[in-house]
Amino acid sequence: MRPSRGTRARGGITRREWLAWALSLGGLTASGACSLSALLVFLARRAEKMAAQATPTPSPTPDLTPTAPPLPPELIRREAWGALPPDHTAEEEYGFADADNPTGWYVYEGDLAAIYTTAVIHHSYPLLRDSGTMRALQDLHMRTRRWADIGYHFGIDGKGAVYEGRDIRVRGANVAGYNTGTLGIVLMGNFEVETPSRAQIVALQRLLYWLKQAYRLTHLAAHYEFNPTTVCPGRHMYPYLSLLAESLGLQRGTGGYVPPQMPPKVQSHRRDQGCC
Ligand SMILES: [Zn+2]
CA of 226 to the centre of ligand 1 (A): 10
Q: How would residue 259 be classed by pLDDT, with cut points 50, 70 and 90?
A: confident
CA of 121 to the centre of ligand 1 (A): 7
CA of 222 to the centre of ligand 1 (A): 8
More reliable by pLDDT, 39 or 258 = 258
CATH superfamily of 75-252: Peptidoglycan recognition protein-like (3.40.80.10)
Residue 263 has pLDDT above 90, yes or no: no
CA of 253 to the centre of ligand 1 (A): 14
Residue 29 has pLDDT above 60, yes or no: no
pTM score above 0.85: no
pLDDT at 273: 66
CA of 40 to the centre of ligand 1 (A): 72
CA of 223 to the centre of ligand 1 (A): 5
Averaged pLDDT of the chain = 79
**Average pLDDT rounded to a whole number, residues 139-156:** 96
Instruction: Cite the residue boundaries of each domain of the chain with CATH code 3.40.80.10.
Output: 75-252
Q: What is the pLDDT of residues 52-95, one digit of tens each?
A: 454 444 344 434 344 555 567 899 999 999 999 999 999 999 99
**Average pLDDT rounded to a whole number, residues 158-171:** 96
Residue 23 has pLDDT above 70, yes or no: no
Beta partners for residue 252, in sequence order: 220
At CB < 8 A and 24+ separation, what contacts does 257-261 make?
A: 257/117, 257/118, 257/178, 257/181, 257/182, 257/219, 257/221, 257/226, 258/117, 258/181, 259/180, 259/181, 260/108, 260/115, 260/180, 260/181
**Average pLDDT rounded to a whole number, residues 140-155:** 96
**Average pLDDT rounded to a whole number, residues 110-139:** 94
Q: How would residue 204 be classed by pLDDT, with cut points 50, 70 and 90?
A: very high
Tell me the residues surrounding ligand 1 (ion) with CB < 5 Å. Answer: 122, 223, 232, 275-276
Cα–Cα distance, 107 to 148 (Å, whole number): 13
Cα–Cα distance, 265 to 42 (Å, whole number): 69
pLDDT at 222: 98
Phi first, then psi: what are they for 14, rounded to 5°?
-80, 160
Beta partners for residue 156, in sequence order: 162, 187
Helix-then-strand count for the chain, H and E: 7, 7
Q: How would residue 38 be classed by pLDDT, with cut points 50, 70 and 90?
A: low
